[in-house]
């Protein structure tokens, strides 16, 4: 499993992104594992892609989700409670 943030997701889709070549070279390696991201990163990526590549870029991201190349992690009901505990613990 490879946790993937917004930047690499944009770079995978947008060939004009400064990091597209580096990410493209790593895609075969990365996609041999499960790419995962959060709903927040998915939303941010869609917003950035809308501004840079429009509907076609957003559709390319959705294809990754639909063909199970990208899995969206959803928070559990306990997630906010655990996050609060971590914040208190690591002050």
Position 31 scores a pLDDT of 63
Position 27 scores a pLDDT of 74
Give residue-wise pLDDT tens across range 11-65: 989 888 888 888 877 876 766 677 899 999 999 999 999 999 999 999 999 999 9
Round to whole Å and give the CA distance between 89 and 75: 20
Give residue-wise pLDDT tens across range 64-80: 999 988 999 988 888 88
Position 64 scores a pLDDT of 92
CA distances from 15 to 9, 23, 53, 83 (A): 11, 10, 10, 36
Alpha helices by DSSP H, 1-91: 6-13, 20-31, 39-52, 54-66, 79-89
């Amino acid at each position: 499993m490879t946790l993937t943030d917004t930047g690499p997701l944009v770079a995978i889709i947008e060939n004009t992104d400064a990091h597209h070549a580096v990410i493209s070279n790593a895609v075969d390696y990365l996609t041999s594992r499960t790419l995962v991201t959060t709903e927040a990163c998915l939303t941010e990526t869609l917003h950035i892609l809308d501004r840079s590549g429009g509907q076609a870029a957003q559709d390319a991201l959705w294809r990754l989700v639909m063909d199970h190349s990208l899995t969206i992690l959803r928070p559990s009901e306990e997630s906010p409670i655990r996050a609060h505990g971590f914040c208190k613990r690591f002050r």
